[in-house]
Amino acid sequence: MNIIRTGDYQEMSQRAARIIAAQIILKPDCVLGLATGATPLKIYHLLIAWHESGVLDFRNVKTFNLDEYKGLSRDNSQSYSYYMHENLFDYVNIDPENTSLPDGTSVDSEKECMNYENKIRLAGGIDLQLLGIGHNGHIGFNEPGNSFVPKTHCVNLQKRTIEANSRFFASSEEVPKQAYTMGIKTIMMAKKILLVVKGRDKAEILKRAITGPVAPEVPASILQLHPNVTLIADKDAMEYL
Ligand code: PGA
């Protein structure tokens, strides 16, 4: 694992955005795996700025997001689809047809998951997957459990995740209790993985994920087995490493 410690969130974002930009420049029709949450926000803002200055062309880029809340439509302001439009897609020249997230409103969960998995495969797989980590060690919405679930599936969100995500909702009651997420194998099949982490509140789980046993109790620990992972974390998140 390539580990990059940065002074602060700004530097973490710059280092990560440069890796994504390099991927787009080297392979203009690359497939990016994208993440939501607070951590990637500045990365997306930098990518937009580089697009505006003519450095980045998203015309042929394809994207697949890690996850989406079950039950939220694309135009719901809390959906991850909405987040992606607000924070990236609407400000770059990406073809909306080339952007994919699981459809939170799909009535047939199994079919939705199978279709999403197939769509990634048909696109040729993910070249570069951006990841954050949850306080409980989740990647995407792969929550801690007794086993690693390989493929895209529907999960029951854990109390800790619902509480953490309630900061984006009016109250924790409003946070959906289920979500679609890429599976662990879906993520591990990406050719390259870029894990970004900020803040002291993630320091303990980051240490467990990077130096602890590889076990489904800490889903991110599986990344120890991937041959091409870059971790970029600010000094607060790296406190115990
Ligand atoms: P955050 O979320 O970037 O908002 O901390 C990370 C995650 O839960 O995967």
pLDDT tens profile 98-143? 999 999 999 899 999 999 999 999 999 999 999 999 999 999 999 9
Residue 20's pLDDT is: 98
Q: How far is the CA of 162 from the centre of ligand 1 (A)?
A: 12
Residue 32's pLDDT is: 99
* 29 included as an active-site residue: no
Active-site position among 136, 204, 226, 239 = 136
Q: What is the pLDDT of residues 30-63, one digit of tens each?
A: 999 999 999 999 999 999 999 999 999 999 999 9
In one-letter notation, the amino acid at residue 183 is G
Q: How far is the CA of 39 from the centre of ligand 1 (A)?
A: 6
| For residues 82-107, average pLDDT | 97
Q: What is the pLDDT of residues 1-28, one digit of tens each?
A: 999 999 999 999 999 999 999 999 999 9
Tokens of 14: 């710059």
Q: Where are the beta strands (DSSP E) in 145-241?
A: 153-156, 178-181, 192-197, 229-234
Distance CA 82, CA 149 (A): 27
pLDDT band per the 50, 70, 90 thresholds, residue 217: very high
- Percent of all residues in the chain with a pLDDT value above 90, rounded to a whole number: 98
Tokens of 91: 């400000």
* 67 included as an active-site residue: yes
Ligand 1 site, residue 165, Cβ cutoff 6 A: no
| For residues 62-86, average pLDDT | 97
Tokens of 93: 């020249």
- Strands of the sheet containing 67-69, edge to edge, are 67-69, 178-181, 153-156
pLDDT band per the 50, 70, 90 thresholds, residue 96: very high
Ligand 1 site, residue 133, Cβ cutoff 6 A: yes
Q: How far is the CA of 202 from the centre of ligand 1 (A)?
A: 9
Ligand 1 site, residue 140, Cβ cutoff 6 A: no
* 217 included as an active-site residue: no
Residue 185's pLDDT is: 98
pTM (predicted TM-score)? 0.97
Strand partners, 69: 179
Q: How far is the CA of 179 from the centre of ligand 1 (A)?
A: 15
Report H helices in 123-166. 159-165
